[in-house]
Structure 1
Amino acid sequence: MIRVKNSGNEFDKGEKMNWLKRYSIERPDKKFINDVTFRKVYESVTDLAKKLFSYVKNEKRVALYANNSVDMVLFFLALQFLEKEVFMLNTRLTDEEIKKQLKLLKVQIVFSYDNKFIPFNKVYKSQKQDIELVEEFDEESITVIMNTSATAGEFKSVPIRWKQFYSHVKASQKSLGVTDEDNWLVVLPMYHISGLSILIRSLYNGTSVIILEKFREEQVIELIESSRINILSLVPTMLNRIVDKIGKHNLRVVLVGGEFIPKSLVEKSIAKNIPIYKTYGMTETTSQVTTFSVLDYPEKIDSVGLPLEKVIIHIENPDKKGIGEVVIKSPMLMDGYIGKEKVFNHFNSEDVGYIDEDGFLYILDRRKNIIISGGENIYPKEIENILYVHPKIHECAVVGEKDDRWGQVPILYVVSSIDRQKILAYLSNKLAKYKLPKKIIYLEELPKNASGKILKKNLKEVN
């Protein structure tokens, strides 16, 4: 018996169906995850849901603690069939951080790939219960809860509902297109929106994904050059590690976002005819809100693209140059952080940027990253962009430091073999004097989160 639920009229009948159920019927033998077909995934998910029921029957919200794997996907989808809110735990957190987050979200039950919590293997060996499974999801129900990646501050819990995922996958499909041959690499962690959204898009499109537990350069290059994948999503630090090594390829889309994208990296990709799509978005907006093909608009290389369908972006409190705070209105936008006030359709991204005459969005920096020195605004991205052009600058980040005379001054953290004087000489011809770093700190590697984003807030701890 199938129980049907839907609280609104937004979805048309063909798309209200559970997509996994739909493609298990329409495309039973097509590979969905790695070498596993849609039919087999559907059978595995429904089987697992019946085993999970005895663990979660009295729970509204449960957690998953896992790295990327087929098992992780099966557990996530099986819990959807049981109408559970799934909190995705970052496996790089300390035990104390995990304890704090579980307590805050009132989560009692956690399933894990290892023996830290309830192991996946234990559930697989459990007895099945004879129960009804929800095979059409309520658009208002919370699908997943993700904590922001906290690159600059405290974690906030973002609930993402089916209605937001539905709006996202439709808009993304229109922006990126879809073919029957699409096979999307999932190497970004699925406990972040950048990774999980790939799975949801592919599920909606009825296309394939290849899931890797972590980013390994040679493995990714082999998948590219063998044409096993034709779409991948990466953060710039990942693309930078492989771009010079990519030979032949059949790539249709390389979606790059998640942090500042060095212009030199984009130019290098264009020279190799790698189809870079720059993108901009965040957990709160269910991933991307702007995207564009750099090969189609090379003159807009510094932009992060045009808004996706039904996304409205405006600049609040603009200065004389039109630069101000980037505010987003979108059906993909969260309703509000858990335990905090609602958003009411408008979300201040806390990024600073502008929109050009053609509607392309440009992001200058995070508002909290802007350095105000002697009354002048310094945008760290501008300095970083120049540095990344230099072939011997491997990683860099600029942050502000308090200064009695100027209020703040820029400090450069860098991974490089170039000495301080040469770096300053390189920058001095390209930047006003007040923008030059007042201190340069050398590191073997900059701190990053699981997605590869540089954690500027952690840099101040090594000073």
Structure 2
Amino acid sequence: MNWLKKQSIEKPNNKFINNLTFEEVYERVTDLAKRLYLYVKNQSRVALYSNNSEDMALFFLAFQALKIEVLMLNTHLSEEEMTKQLNALHIQIVFSQDNKFISFQEVYQSDEYEEVQLAEEYNPQQIVVIMNTSATTGEFKSVPLRWKQFDSHVKASGKSLGITETDNWLIVLPMYHIGGLAILMRSLYNGTRVTIAGKFDEEQVLQLIEDAAINMLSLVPTMLNRIIDRIEEHNLRVVLVGGEFIPESLVEKCLCKNIPIYKTYGMTETTSQSVTFPVSDYPQKIDSVGVPLEEVMIHIKDPDENGVGEVQIKSPMLMDGYLGQETISDFFNTEDVGYLDQDGFLYIMDRRQNIIISGGENIYPQEIENVLYAHPEISECAVVGVKDAKWGQVPILFVISSLDEDEVFDYLAKRIARYKLPQRILFLNELPKNPSGKILKKDLIERYYVD
């Protein structure tokens, strides 16, 4: 059944998006779909260009009612990148938060609309959303996620995280990324509330936590790191952290403050969360990213003598395949490197492309970064490999810290093997990040490193 219609019947007066109830959202989405139909009746696929907002969510849901595929455009794309993506997917119509394309306001203010039959049932094979990911190649690949994948995901996620009637999940991760959109979809299915923030604003997030206005939160580690020391009183039930390497020191701070941190691992291709666990229940597994959700299978391909190999995933949440490419028939290679322990907990060593091979030795940047983050005077850091005539590759450290070079080097020298020590240390005021807060290692080399 149409999830939104179902909730509008069963929980009409329950809050869904900010202060709008399920009934109000259903009415607005129905009205909006009738207005949008005049723009899109000859289209099977459109694009949305917007930062997080109530309107963005309503437009997205209206397109679902019209059974139209939606490409989520990253608002940080250049004109050239955007044009390339739209042309590749044969998209002619784009709706936007501003006047860049067809504005949300133009649609709202239109007096014209047409009666149209809206979706009563969601077809499992229908593509809900398309998200483009650059993966490891630099060239984007289009990930189509269907209702069948979202259906499996919301059910498995709910069993992993639990559901309460008072849940209110803050959406601060961009909804044009799967980490943000998945929150909207889970809450729609669960019949619970979301609070949508336009962007990550430390003061706003801290105020919502302090006021107990939200009890669920999804962040990447760099975001959580910026607010963790200022969180005092809270009513948080779940703080889901993933998207990149999670420093052990950050997890320990959460445990000390009784913040219910759930480590998670997933990707766009797997409809977000595939592996999760509440760290406080398994403190001895603090370095793990968790155990597979229901129906998720993890396989380690070509493990070495320590069991470390390529992490592969198979699940009903996994995409059918990239658009225009072969269908995935078996396990999907995540291109991450890790291992499973005897209890089935997954450990991620690093992205395969991040591993530094120096003189025949594998160096895992995350291992070095974890040691660095344990130092209170180191705010952010990134270890990157660069070519070296003698060793093949050597590690370089980019860091934000009040320490000097000798102090950083001495700190590391006491804690890691000599071959893992960075050959150079570059101090910066800020590390480049994408809109989700992930550190862009490729940009560090291009912008700041001179051989």
TM-score (normalised: structure 1): 0.95
In the alignment, is the contact (CA less than 8 A) between 1:186 and 1:211 conserved in 2? yes
Match in the other structure for 1:439: 424
Q: Among residues 426, 436, 439, which one is paired with 2:411 in the alignment?
A: 426
Match in the other structure for 1:365: 350
Query: For residues 419 and 152 of structure 1, do their structure 2 counterparts lie closer, same or farther at Cα, with a shift above 3 Å needed?
Result: farther
* Paired letter, 2:171: V
User: What is the distance in 2 between the residues matched to 1:289 and 1:48?
Assistant: 33
Q: Indicate yes or no: 2:354 matched with 1:354.
A: no
Match in the other structure for 1:387: 372
Name the SS of the counterpart of 1:313 in structure 2.
strand
Which blocks of at least 5 consecutive residues in structure 1 are unaligned?
Answer: 1-16
Match in the other structure for 2:391: 406
Q: Indicate yes or no: 2:101 matched with 1:117.
A: yes
In the alignment, is the contact (CA less than 8 A) between 1:152 and 1:457 conserved in 2? no
Q: Indicate yes or no: 2:63 matched with 1:79.
A: yes
Q: Among residues 81, 85, 89, which one is paired with 2:73 in the alignment?
A: 89
* Paired letter, 2:403: I
What is the Cα deviation at residue 47 of structure 1? 0.3
In the alignment, is the contact (CA less than 8 A) between 1:149 and 1:449 conserved in 2? no
In the alignment, is the contact (CA less than 8 A) between 2:143 and 2:322 conserved in 1? yes
Q: Among residues 275, 292, 311, which one is paired with 2:277 in the alignment?
A: 292
What is the Cα deviation at residue 150 of structure 1? 5.0
Match in the other structure for 2:382: 397
Deviations 1:367-403 (Å, cap 9, x if unpaired)?
1100000000000000000001111111110111000
Q: Indicate yes or no: 2:53 matched with 1:69.
A: yes
In the alignment, is the contact (CA less than 8 A) between 2:264 and 2:290 conserved in 1? yes
Name the SS of the counterpart of 1:134 in structure 2.
coil
Q: Among residues 90, 112, 130, which one is paired with 1:145 in the alignment?
A: 130
User: What is the distance in 1 between the residues matched to 2:330 and 2:157?
Assistant: 19
Name the SS of the counterpart of 2:139 in structure 1.
coil
Match in the other structure for 1:13: none
In the alignment, is the contact (CA less than 8 A) between 1:152 and 1:456 conserved in 2? no
* Paired letter, 2:141: K
Q: Indicate yes or no: 2:18 matched with 1:50.
A: no
Deviations 1:73-114 (Å, cap 9, x if unpaired)?
110010111111100000011111111111111110000000
In the alignment, is the contact (CA less than 8 A) between 2:215 and 2:236 conserved in 1? yes
In the alignment, is the contact (CA less than 8 A) between 2:13 and 2:22 conserved in 1? yes
User: What is the distance in 1 between the residues matched to 2:412 and 2:390?
Assistant: 23
Match in the other structure for 2:305: 320
Deviations 1:180-216 (Å, cap 9, x if unpaired)?
0000000000000000000000000000000000011
In the alignment, is the contact (CA less than 8 A) between 2:288 and 2:345 conserved in 1? yes
User: What is the distance in 2 between the residues matched to 1:374 and 1:311?
Assistant: 37
User: What is the distance in 2 between the residues matched to 1:149 and 1:65?
Assistant: 18
In the alignment, is the contact (CA less than 8 A) between 1:236 and 1:261 conserved in 2? yes
What is the Cα deviation at residue 147 of structure 1? 1.1
Which blocks of at least 5 consecutive residues in structure 2 are unaligned?
Answer: none
* Paired letter, 1:67: N
Alignment of 1:60-459 (within 5 A): 60-126=44-110, 127-148=112-133, 153-459=138-444
Q: Among residues 23, 27, 34, which one is paired with 1:39 in the alignment?
A: 23
Name the SS of the counterpart of 2:394 in structure 1.
strand
User: What is the distance in 2 between the residues matched to 1:339 and 1:224?
Assistant: 43
In the alignment, is the contact (CA less than 8 A) between 1:66 and 1:91 conserved in 2? yes
What is the Cα deviation at residue 151 of structure 1? 7.5
User: What is the distance in 2 between the residues matched to 1:236 and 1:291?
Assistant: 15
Deviations 1:112-147 (Å, cap 9, x if unpaired)?
000000000111122110111112110001000001
Name the SS of the counterpart of 2:395 in structure 1.
strand
Q: Percent identity?
A: 69
User: What is the distance in 1 between the residues matched to 2:99 and 2:378?
Assistant: 41
Aligned pair count reads 447
Match in the other structure for 1:27: 11
* Paired letter, 1:42: Y
User: What is the distance in 2 between the residues matched to 1:420 and 1:38?
Assistant: 56
* Paired letter, 2:434: N
* Paired letter, 2:223: M
What is the Cα deviation at residue 268 of structure 1? 0.5
User: What is the distance in 2 between the residues matched to 1:157 and 1:414?
Assistant: 33
In the alignment, is the contact (CA less than 8 A) between 2:136 and 2:353 conserved in 1? no
What is the Cα deviation at residue 345 of structure 1? 3.5
What is the Cα deviation at residue 60 of structure 1? 1.1
